[in-house]
Amino acid sequence: MHYRSIAPGALATASLLLAVPAFAATYTPGAQGIGDPYYPAYGNGGYDVSHYDLRLKYQPATDELEGTATLRARTTQDLSQFDLDFLLNVSEVRVNGVEAAFTNSGEHELVITPKTGLAKGTDITVVVRYSGIPSSKKAYGFTTWLRTADGAVAANEPESAWWWFPSNDHPLDKATYDVSVRVPEGTQAISNGRLRSTRSAGGWSTYCWRSDKPQATYLATLAVGRFDITTGKSESGIPVINAYSKNLGDRDAAARASVERTGEIADWLSGYFGPYPYDALGGYVPDVPTGFALETQTRPFYSPRQFASGPNPSVVVHELAHQWYGDDVSVKGWKDIWISEGFARYAQWLWSEHEGQGTTQELADKVYASHPADDAFWTVAPGNPGPDNQFDIAVYDRGALAIQALRNEIGDDAFFTVLKGWPQKHAYGNASLADFQRYAEKVSGKDLGPLFDTWLLEPAKPAGPAAARMSSLPAEPKSWKQIEATNEMHKH
Ligand code: TRP
Ligand code: ZN
């Protein structure tokens, strides 16, 4: 299907007409990317998924994953063909019950050609049967599937779905999930949302998880291993399920002393951000050698290293803040990462103030003073950092600094109204930096163009009156080191 890689134009159109049957004169292939300039091949065009039903079986000893994925989707154009993003070996694809042709292309495209064209605006069901050894599959030379001594973990950003389920892999296409996983008895399977059932038969245990609110593909997670599972309820009544690998050793106590505060911290955050958007809470700490944490929906992933030097509630604050900023309101494109990371970092500052370990202003002052004007830190624009700097420390620290500057500009009343109103305004949806600016302008009645430009877009250290408040040389806030210690993701 080489014509798909030819630039659009007469030649492409002509070969397309020759290559496919009669219905295709008006029915065309969906785009192989959803249109994100940071990652042109991520996601796909031509359809929108509403639900993923994943039935999986995983064998830790061999890293063999078998599965059947059933996708419910709606076409957004007259489709002759469409892609899913996926790396494992596919044995069968059915579209509306009928066997479809399929092939692989690019780094991670599964190209599906249904027997007949699919009219725009119709609901379709796609069944994909597959198997494979996820750790053996690479795209762009890497794998993000993490094997552990007793299982494996899928948790990464932006790429984690390709190794375990076929998807339209971009935050713009959110869907609900049923994830059912069979694992050897004695092993547990952790995923997002509520645990609907567990059962064991013939040496295998099945864990059924459900996420019934829209969820971005990178926020879907799977962890298999030997876990100790704790259950509870937040004061506001949300059920909490946490899971700790049995191999955490001397990090076990600090992990529990942090993650067991999930209900308390989520309730505290809802005071700033409004009601918690989901019906499940928790966190899991698998036995992985990595350092990062990730805001996987309802149930963040924490590397044990986050707890290597003692309890770290600040990282729990960060990941739970994402449940509103990042998960409930997701980026439209990856360039909008500030609407996720800037606020998760700012929540850590609010927690510091709450704990009497330094105010948000003191932390802003410290960030501002820590980087001289010629520091490369100021060359990264959090409002459009580029794919290579998407998770640069500036997106977090300068991103939170910008939020403090906004607060100083519009005052506490308008600021906290924005903070709480935003997740409602775009509930279960997507938004851009421009959407945020528009909303803050509406609430505050001020033109915020210059402020957003100075703090988020200029590749230079902000100066002048807007910065005057930040320029005193502050003492180091008590929380500074602990917040810095949550920065592991910038180190690889
Ligand atoms: N979004 C994650 C956090 O806020 C951090 C992160 C960035 C990350 N890049 C990643 C996590 C890659 C896992 C993999 O905590
Ligand atoms: Zn984050």
- Per-residue confidence (pLDDT) for residue 473, from 0 to 100: 66
Q: Cβ(110)–Cβ(128) under 8 Å? A: yes
- Per-residue confidence (pLDDT) for residue 465, from 0 to 100: 56
- Per-residue confidence (pLDDT) for residue 285, from 0 to 100: 98
β-sheet bridge partners, residue 74: 48, 123
**Residue of 362, 395, 353 whose CA lies nearest to 469:** 362
The pLDDT profile of the chain, 492 residues, written as one tens digit per residue, is 333 333 444 444 444 444 555 554 699 999 999 999 999 999 999 999 999 999 999 999 999 999 999 999 999 999 999 999 999 999 999 999 999 999 999 999 999 999 999 999 999 999 999 999 999 999 999 999 999 999 999 999 999 999 999 999 999 999 999 999 999 999 999 999 999 999 999 999 999 999 999 999 999 999 999 999 999 999 999 999 999 999 999 999 999 999 999 999 999 999 999 999 999 999 999 999 999 999 999 999 999 999 999 999 999 999 999 999 999 999 999 999 999 999 999 999 999 999 999 999 999 999 999 999 999 999 999 999 999 999 999 999 999 999 999 999 999 999 999 999 999 999 999 999 999 999 999 999 999 999 999 999 999 999 865 676 665 667 899 999 889 889 876 643
**179 CA to middle of ligand 1, Å?**
23
- Per-residue confidence (pLDDT) for residue 466, from 0 to 100: 60
**Encoding tokens for residue 322?**
């994402």
**What's CA 261's distance to the chain center, in Å?**
22
Which atom of ligand 1 is nearest to 155's Cα?
Answer: 13
Tell me if residue 331 falls in helix, strand or coil.
Answer: strand
Q: Cβ(402)–Cβ(436) under 8 Å? A: no
**3 CA to middle of ligand 2, Å?**
39
Ligand nearest to the CA of 221: 1
**Encoding tokens for residue 165?**
């389920």
- Per-residue confidence (pLDDT) for residue 21, from 0 to 100: 53
For 100, 396, 407, 483, the CA distances from 400, given in Å and listed in that order, are 49, 6, 11, 12
- Per-residue confidence (pLDDT) for residue 14, from 0 to 100: 45
The helix (run of H) or strand (run of E) holding residue 294 is strand 293-294
Query: Is the shortest distance between the CB of 284 and ligand 1 below 6 Å?
Result: no
Residue reference for tokens 């299982």? 151
- Per-residue confidence (pLDDT) for residue 472, from 0 to 100: 63
**345 CA to middle of ligand 2, Å?**
7
- Per-residue confidence (pLDDT) for residue 487, from 0 to 100: 87
**33 CA to middle of ligand 2, Å?**
25
Which atom of ligand 1 is nearest to 293's Cα?
Answer: 15
Q: What is the DSSP secondary structure assignment for residue 66, as one 8-state letter?
A: E
- Per-residue confidence (pLDDT) for residue 6, from 0 to 100: 37
Tell me if residue 356 falls in helix, strand or coil.
Answer: coil
- Per-residue confidence (pLDDT) for residue 488, from 0 to 100: 76
Query: Is the shortest distance between the CB of 294 and ligand 1 below 6 Å?
Result: yes
| Distance of alpha carbon 335 from alpha carbon 399, whole angstroms | 13
- Per-residue confidence (pLDDT) for residue 440, from 0 to 100: 98
pTM: 0.94
Nearest CA to ligand 1 atom 14: 156
- Per-residue confidence (pLDDT) for residue 142, from 0 to 100: 98
Query: Is the shortest distance between the CB of 489 and ligand 1 below 6 Å?
Result: yes
Ligand nearest to the CA of 171: 1
Query: Is the shortest distance between the CB of 292 and ligand 1 below 6 Å?
Result: yes
- Per-residue confidence (pLDDT) for residue 45, from 0 to 100: 98
Query: Is the shortest distance between the CB of 127 and ligand 1 below 6 Å?
Result: no
Ligand nearest to the CA of 343: 2
**Encoding tokens for residue 436?**
């945020």
**292 CA to middle of ligand 1, Å?**
6
Which atom of ligand 1 is nearest to 326's Cα?
Answer: 1
| Distance of alpha carbon 412 from alpha carbon 414, whole angstroms | 6
**149 CA to middle of ligand 1, Å?**
23
Query: Is the shortest distance between the CB of 395 and ligand 1 below 6 Å?
Result: no
**346 CA to middle of ligand 2, Å?**
10
**What's CA 400's distance to the chain center, in Å?**
19
Residue reference for tokens 């076409």? 75
